[in-house]
Structure 1
Amino acid sequence: MTETRTDATPVTVADALALPELQAGAPELVAGRAGLDRSIRWAHVVAGAGAIALLEGGELILTTGAGWPTDHDALDGLARSVVAADPAAAILELGAHFDAAPAELASACERHAIPLIVLRREVRFVQITQRVHQRVLAAQTEALAARADVHTMLTELGLNRSPVDYVVERLAETLDAPVVLEDSAGRVVAWAGGELLPQAALAPWAATRPDALPAGADSVAVEAQGKRWGRLSALPGPPHAAGRRTVLELGAFALALGKLADPDGEQWLRLSSKRLFDALLNGRYRSDTELATQLAAAGLPIDGRVLLGATLRGTEDFGGHSSLERAVLETALRRAVAPEGRVILVPDPTDDAAPSAGSRASAGEHDRTPLLALLSFPADDPRISAVAESGSAPPLAVRLARELDMLIPSPTPPGWRAHLGLGASGRGVRSLITSLERVRAAGRLRPTAAAGRVTVQQAERQALAYLVRGLSATPEVQEFASEALGPVIAHDSGSGPGHSGDLLLVLRAYLAHPTNRSLAAQRARLSRSVFYQRLALIEELLGVDLADGTTIAALTVALLARSD
């Protein structure tokens, strides 16, 4: 963090001009009107031309012109010395040595926007300096107190281990202006902006050049120990007693300390993703434009891109901690999408990963909480430009399988697989929302293809499954599924002679291959004779003919509505 300083001293040249002690001298501004808002660091009485070189800049100069030269060349040199000293303003009392401001000095002050003020009546310089010093010291005292308050607030937030987004909210509240935290890649991690809409506050980050902040904005780096993690910016707003930049620097320091304490180094990434998915899935946005701005600012471009939602989960035993499995899946997908594509990932916040009876648990499989993904690709990207031929894996899945091969630990059991669910691709925020909602509602379906350790399901190839899963939460569909499958489910849950508990599994295998009962028997891992017996029992329980097309369609819909 850079050296902390006060950058909002409220005493300006205009403030000094309003003092009664200066007004008593009938002041007249003869040059440098554009510099009336210059800050005054101190007030200093200057006698003679040689004392000008001792100034440090920012002073309010008070002089009678005593000891000044009167010829043109010498006055021109004096004027150059004055502007080189960069004072806040120069006040010349007329009468004793000059009856008007030297033209050379007035011209130089006008060019450099340094106010030059003449006094036509005699005043006491000591009273003016005293009043100016009182105002400057009071402002500095106020700034120190305000800075101490901000420091105390941020220290308490650190002791409370407050999340990053809450720290940013408090900074925005303190500055009464939008505050944006971005990572080293320019992606928005967190922001808070009061009444300002996201499309206005985040517009610089949603654009192709996030460095182009509006005039009046302040920005500081978030860094520590020689490592830069990002940038903290405040958009235009009112001044703060401690100085807007000082508040930002203290905030950046607190955020950097939190970053050092983050052992995984992924807190910012997960926070940004979580906020975006919360907005998208729970409708926490006012318009599609607002959501598109937030997504683009977080690193997921929308305009002119092909967008889709996806899920990714591990199946079977990974042979290691779930956090390692998730890290491998996330890293592999990011690498599979890079460099042209973009992805935002988050664990599904509402998935309990609990298998239901008769589904994956009965097959001895294990699913963890799936990852939800938002994907953005260039329009001509071959990984999503077309659906692969039947039976072959899409290019994205092939790329993902290759990345997994390089990342998974060698002891990983051979049965472990990564299951990739791909929603329908489209353009615009609305199609992205629909794609994610449908692939999420579909859950884990039977794969349509495989590549290495990756199994794939695709909305384009499983339109009925995606449609039914999207409607499965409605009471009417659940009632239909219960009525259609109730006798089979009840039989599976029973015990005793004739109760094998596998009728639902047999039915699922048959409906997957209704025209090839031999293949269906193989999928169910039963002999043909036993498989046929099970089918006959299902027909008896349900009172249906499994060769009937309408029955096959109805039972398929019922199974899809019931399965995870």
Structure 2
Amino acid sequence: MTPTLRSMLTMKVLADGLPDVVVGGAGLDRPVRWVHVTEMRDLLDLLDGQEVVLTTGLPLAGPDADPSGFVRQLAAADACGLVVELGARLPELPPEVVAEARTHGLPLVALRGPVKFVEVTEAVHRAIVGEQYRGLAFAQQTHEVFTELSLDSADAATIVTRAAALVDETIVLEDAGRHVVALAAADRSPRDVLDRWEERSRAAPVLAEAGTTGAEGWLTCPVGLRGSAWGRLVAPQAVADPVETSVVLQRAAQALQLSRLVERDVAGLQFQARESLLLDLMEARVVDEVDAVARARALGVPARSQYLPVVAHFGATAVTDQIVRQRRARAQLEAAGGAVRAAGLDAIAGGVADGHVGLVLALRPGARDDAALTALSSAFSSRQGTRDPVTLGIGLTSTSLLGATAQLRTTMHIASAGRALPGPPRPWYRSGDVRIRGLVAELQSDDRVVAFAESELGPLLAHDAGTRDDLLRLLRSYLRLGGNKAAVAADAHLSRQALYGRLRRLETILGVDLDDAESTLSLGVAVLVHDLRAAAPRRV
């Protein structure tokens, strides 16, 4: 931190002089730009502002001295303070010096013991130069961070998170409607940060440039082109270093605007923000219901007493080109968002897997989930922008947002299973509609089901862990293809003879006969349980 007169007095070279703060106040905490030693009576032209002046008192003593005038000169030059070493020449500070210093709010310090001024200036100047060097290093680091983010086309959440990490402060990005788009809470609870957010935000007027605003002293920076800002970055608390934080907010605002110009997507920010929240909930990065609801409310999704998990399955993407896949995923997310709006529903939406968009509907009081689903299904049927038919998988209604989100992976499997079922497609599928796959998906965390899967597959998993055989993949293929050895050999790219050898090894490891119907049924259920659990996030 830049030295202040208060921090200077804690340095050993000055502390040894037994400093006595005669006039203090807020001026003690002003940044000190330089230290000037003088015994001259007229020094107005020698000061540029923010200096601390050291003297042995010669300008304040003697028949020709003008002590009050000397203090007025320092105040006029915007000095940070006056430090006087008392001694035989000036045993005490003149009363008029003390009075004049109080009048102008100029910090005044008396040193009761001797000090070497050269050591004082050396120590302080070393600290000032060190701080300047650190500032240059910080500016370089900030430049490199945001240049990298811009080149990587980082999303809003990533930019805000990196900005908060640079200054170790809580940073919020809100849109023009005072909805929170991204949040990085340093050492504060998100619920505290977002408490009455819209009300507090409207009490902090939007500034045309970076600065402090509102009764809470928010440090803010507009985001967008001059005169047409679409949002602002906010540090909603007193920050440790306003200068550095302001610089970071301005660089973050530039990165956000560049990202937006590249994206050319008016609704993209809200999509990103809601998708980011959905993924945070699914990956258990948010584990408190109050925090989850607060973040959803800040994004315009009201708190409800019932939430319904839904997964829209558009079909897997066959192409490998990442740009094409990203564009298709965005089109699917936009189609889902458009269907939600057309159905008059409130929801958090985000891509949860290739070809899958997860939705958590916030059901209105008294609303029946079937009515909401009918409206949503109809909206999807008439949607624009994607050609793939949509299959809706439906989870169980939950009284909590976290509870509904926790079902999305299971619901994704319901949608996938429903899409694979033969016959005319239904408007939506629940677990009961997809039979054994849906049942296993719902019971995958039951201790008895987990124990069953382990007893069936444990020896095989232990074998694969110690080798590169990957016999579990072969078993999957065998079960999926109904034991058709010719089809399995083709699927595994093996000769028939090599396949028979591997199947015999499988039977030996598992202790079963793969031609036995009950054995293959048990193994099929066990593999399904294993795969569903492997895809679920681990909660700590």
> TM-score band, normalised by the shorter chain?
0.5 to 0.7
For residues 402 and 350 of structure 2, what CA distance do their matches in structure 1 show? 20
Mapped to 2, the partners of 1:396 and 1:52 lie a distance apart of 78
Q: Provide the residue aligned with 2:9 in structure 1.
A: 17
Shift of 1:139: 1.7
C-alpha contact 2:307 2:361 (8 A) present in aligned 1: yes
What does residue 335 of structure 2 align with?
Answer: 329
Call closer, same or farther: CA 1:172–1:41 in 2, change over 3 Å: same
CA RMSD of aligned residues (A): 5.4
Counterpart of 1:30 in 2: which secondary structure? Answer: strand
Residue in 1 that maps onto 2:30: 38
Give the secondary-structure state (helix, strand or coil) at the position aligned to 1:90.
strand
Checking the alignment, whether the CA contact within 8 Å between 1:311 and 1:420 is kept in structure 2 is yes
Q: CA deviation at 1:116?
A: 1.9
Match of 1:138 in 2: 130
**Structure 1 residues 91-102: aligned runs within 5 Å:** 91-92=83-84, 95=89, 99-102=93-96
Work out which of the residue numbers 146, 166, 173 in structure 2 matches 1:154: 146
If you compute each CA radius of gyration, which structure gives the higher value, 1 or 2?
1
Residues 302 and 362 in structure 2, CA contact (< 8 A), matched pair in contact too: yes
The whole-number CA distance in structure 2 between the counterparts of 1:202 and 1:27 is 46
Q: Which has the higher contact order (CA 8 A, sep 6+)?
A: 1
Which amino acid is the alignment partner of residue 60 of structure 1?
V
Distance 1:306 1:121, change over 3 A: same
User: Do structure 1's residue 205 and structure 2's residue 194 form an aligned pair?
Assistant: yes
Unaligned runs of 5+ in 2: 205-213, 316-326, 419-425, 450-480, 483-540
Who is 1:307 aligned against?
307
Cα deviation for residue 29 of structure 1 reads 0.6
The TM-score, its normalising length taken from structure 1, stands at 0.55
Query: Deviations for 1:161-190, whole angstroms, at most 9, x for unmatched residues?
Result: 556555555445443455555555432436
Q: Contact 2:414 / 2:429 at 8 angstroms: preserved in 1?
A: no
Match of 2:433 in 1: 465
Three-state SS of the structure 2 residue aligned to 1:243 is helix
Larger helix proportion, structure 1 or 2?
A: 2
Q: Does 1:374 align with 2:360?
A: yes
The answer to whether the 8 Å contact 1:83/1:108 transfers is: no
User: Are the aligned partners of 2:193 and 2:236 in contact in 1 as well (CA < 8 Å)?
Assistant: no
The alpha carbon displacement at 1:424 in A equals 5.2
Matched-pair contact (CA < 8 Å) for 2:190–2:291: no
Equivalence for 1:517: none
Q: Cα distance 1:105–1:443, how it changes in 2: closer, same or farther (>3 A)? A: same
Task: Give the TM-score of the pair, scaled to structure 2.
Answer: 0.57
Structure 1 residue 115 and structure 2 residue 107: aligned?
yes
Residue range with higher mean Cα deviation, 323-332 or 45-54: 45-54
Q: What's the CA shift string for 1:361-410, capped at 9, x where partnerless?
A: xxxxxxxx35321222553xxxx62467xxxxx368559968997x748x
Q: How many residue pairs get matched?
A: 411
What do residues 113-156 of structure 1 show as CA deviations (whole Å, max 9, x unaligned)? Answer: x5321245687767755654443233212211231233234334
2:404 corresponds to: 432
* 1:385 has 2:374 as partner: no
- Give the CA deviation at 1:45: 6.1
Q: Distance in 2 between matches of 1:62 and 1:440?
A: 73
SS at match of 1:228: strand
Relative to structure 1, is the Cα distance of residues 400 and 224 closer, same or farther in structure 2, using a 3 angstrom cutoff?
farther
Q: Choose which of 336, 345, 349 in structure 2 pairs with 1:345.
A: 349
Equivalent residue of 2:21, what SS? Answer: strand
Q: Distance in 2 between matches of 1:378 and 1:52?
A: 71
Contact 1:186 1:230 (C-alpha < 8 Å) held by counterparts: no
Distance between the aligned counterparts of 1:277 and 1:327, measured in 2?
13
Assess, with a 3 A threshold, how the Cα gap between structure 1 residues 46 and 186 changes in structure 2: closer, same or farther.
Answer: farther
Measured at CA, do residues 325 and 43 of structure 1 come closer, stay the same or move farther in structure 2, by a change above 3 Å?
closer
Q: Which amino acid aligns with 2:99?
A: E
**Contact 1:188 1:299 (C-alpha < 8 Å) held by counterparts:** no
Shift in alpha-carbon separation, 1:456–1:52, aligned structure 2, 3 A: farther
Q: Distance in 1 between matches of 2:136 and 2:402?
A: 50
The residue aligned with 2:485 is: none
